[in-house]
Structure 1
Amino acid sequence: AAKLGLAVEPVSTQVIPRDRHAMYFATLGVIASSIERLATEVRHLQRTEVLEAEEYFSPGQKGSSAMPHKRNPVLTENLTGLARMVRGYVTPALENVALWHERDISHSSVERYIGPDATITLDFALGRLTGVIDKLLIYPERMQKNLDRMGGLVHSQRVLLALTQAGISREDSYHIVQRNAMKVWESDGAESLMELLKADPDVAAKMTASEIEDRFNLDYHFKHIDTIFDRVFS
């Protein structure tokens, strides 16, 4: 009990108040939701038209039963379903809190189900997620290709801020960048935001070509990666 941080219930009737149990199952539900958040991200990244990362796919493994070219994210789809189940046990745990005269045993029939199911399901899901991340296939070249096909639109915010720092109001800066960004958007990335900005007289009056190019450098967005990893894993 000491290792788990458990202590004696300070105030109890015939049974321990079930608010403690409800808090426990609610915590399991939050953990399950965090698992689903990661699983959903992997599922999106594995979409055929995105394909920036995917679950490990062994030689000969089948994907879609109808479309042989597809490699379905079966593990993370399964994790999404398991998370729903664990969250589903939170409501019964909350219903268990209100006991008649704080001593009836209506809770016990519920807990016999949700106790084993919620904990075993979450334990399995954590193990499966660990395996998914451990073997996750990452495709940085595809990430770069996806960024490139957007014609530099992802850098619009940095140009917006640079124009405000150069003395243009935020509203006007937004309008200047947006009118150029819409040309890129409408051309499906065939136009280059950087070149359009260089040719825009309102931008050229405040920023040199090299200053514009500097706002399109991806290294700016990677500068804190090591700091973030150290913060989490150190």
Structure 2
Amino acid sequence: MIPRYARKEMTDIWEPATKFKIWYEIEAHACDAQADLGVIPRENADAVWKAKDVDFDVARIDEIEAVTKHDVIAFLTHLAEHVGSDEARFVHQGMTSSDVLDTCLNVQLVRAADILIADVEKVLAALKKRAMEHKMTVRVGRSHGIHAEPTTMGLTFARFYAEFDRNLARLKAARAEVATGAISGAVGTFANIDPAVEEHVCEKLGLSPEPISTQVIPRDRHAMFFATLGVIASSIENVAIEIRHMQRTEVLEGAEFFSMGQKGSSAMPHKKNPVLTENLTGLARLVRMTVIPAMENVALWHERDISHSSVERGIGPDATVTLDFALNRLAGVVDKMIIYPENMLENMNKFPGLVMSQRVLLALTQAGVSREDAYSMVQRNALKVWEERLDFQELLLADDEVVAALGEDGIRAKFDMDYHTKHVDTIFKRVFGA
């Protein structure tokens, strides 16, 4: 990803220097295990650890790779330059490149997942705070973009909280899915290396041994990981879209924080655009576009091919770096966004009382009116509110059939706003606990 949409903590995971350090640790731990098994001399295994504080020269490795056309061989050659050719002759004993590449990739994905888990927790904290602040801040709920019935801003934040809480569980499961390593040798049979080596390396790196690897770790694991990132990106967009709609001039029920000195338009000085959430909508697309390639990586030829490799070199950094940035931006937007309760009430009253139509409908049926007749009675008055901006309650009070069924006091009683918020506490307990 370009630096504009990247945070250093995450990009560091994908730096070549980090990758080579992980490769080194895999090889060194494998040598330790081989020495413990008596396969290689202990002094050779110990010699490999002489490079534990080395900053591997990325340019030198690239130089070697230009000749070898093989990145792992280039690294091993460079490692021998630090350790000594004789001392390093048992490095990579019985291993294949995928043992290093796949195990390293999963270490990187696990580290990335740990950052993303912390990011989601930040979003959850921001959403919970705003939900509690606006638990009973009444606003109109909309279906198809049209006024429906009253809800609260707290419930809006709470449903996003619940969605991200599910995302947290998904992300933890995705982390576990890719937290495997493989040191099984060519075609994954352990013919030239003891399974105990794999167990040792994985333990040292915080992974579990892959139960069965065909030289590569099965890519259904990675498909699940990236699919999870795609779902989280869609949840980010879900929140972003709501905020963007809230900030429309004719709605203005909420808005992104507009900082001192900020400019909204090069041409129109009055503009305050929802640029951060628009940006999040775009970033969500970038994350989601990594999902299909990850799915397509599942099908490899026989025991392995490297059609997945070029894809993962791109989508690994791109998806995790972008999502990390987006989650942090979202947490900030939610935490700082401005809420306009007075505009929420004003918007709801643009068509006075109309959002109470269902309650009147239900009251009529309970009073003995057929549903078809009740619907007709309510709709004929509701349409006048749409067309003439009249007061719905006043229209009902002037409708003899409705008055005959409900009485004037009965009609007025159906316009009590508390009716629509009476179960907010129950919903909050379900979402946030007691």
Normalising by structure 1, report the TM-score: 0.94
Q: Compute the RMSD of aligned alpha carbons.
A: 1.7
Local SS of the residue matching 2:405 = coil
Deviation at 1:17, TM superposition (A): 1.4
Q: Does 1:12 align with 2:213?
A: yes
Q: How does 1:104-143 map to 2 (within 5 A)?
A: 104-143=305-344
Alignment correspondent of 2:227 = 26
Distance in structure 2 (CA, Å) of the matches to 1:75 and 1:9: 41
Query: Could you give the per-residue CA deviations for residues 40-81 of structure 1, whole angstroms, max 9, x where no partner exists?
Result: 000000000000000111233211333222210011000000
Query: When the two structures are aligned, how many residues end up with a matched partner?
Result: 232
Query: Could you give the per-residue CA deviations for residues 77-113 of structure 1, whole angstroms, max 9, x where no partner exists?
Result: 0000000000010011011111111411110111111
Q: Does 1:214 align with 2:429?
A: no
Deviation at 1:224, TM superposition (A): 2.2
Distance in structure 2 (CA, Å) of the matches to 1:180 and 1:223: 27
Alignment correspondent of 1:65 = 266
Distance in structure 2 (CA, Å) of the matches to 1:30 and 1:212: 45
Distance in structure 2 (CA, Å) of the matches to 1:9 and 1:218: 58
Local SS of the residue matching 1:64 = coil
Structure 1: runs of 5 or more not aligned: none
Q: Does 1:195 align with 2:394?
A: yes
Alignment correspondent of 2:302 = 101
Counterpart among 405, 422, 431 of residue 223 in structure 1: 422
Distance in structure 2 (CA, Å) of the matches to 1:209 and 1:65: 56
Distance in structure 2 (CA, Å) of the matches to 1:28 and 1:153: 41
Distance in structure 1 (CA, Å) of the matches to 2:326 and 2:363: 45
Distance in structure 2 (CA, Å) of the matches to 1:210 and 1:229: 32
Distance in structure 2 (CA, Å) of the matches to 1:97 and 1:109: 14
Distance in structure 2 (CA, Å) of the matches to 1:216 and 1:126: 40
Alignment correspondent of 1:75 = 276
Local SS of the residue matching 1:42 = helix
AA paired with 1:183? K
Alignment correspondent of 2:249 = 48
The percent of aligned pairs where both chains have the same amino acid is: 70
Deviation at 1:223, TM superposition (A): 1.8
Alignment correspondent of 2:161 = none
AA paired with 1:88? M
Deviation at 1:39, TM superposition (A): 0.2
Alignment correspondent of 1:166 = 367
Normalising by structure 2, report the TM-score: 0.51
Local SS of the residue matching 1:101 = coil
Counterpart among 257, 266, 291 of residue 90 in structure 1: 291
Q: Which deviates more from structure 2 when the two are superposed, residues 92-101 or residues 64-73?
A: 64-73
Contact residue 17 and residue 102 of structure 1 kept, 8 A: no
Which of the two has greater helix per residue? 2
Distance in structure 2 (CA, Å) of the matches to 1:137 and 1:176: 40
AA paired with 1:134? D
Q: Does 1:39 align with 2:221?
A: no
Greater radius of gyration (CA) = 2
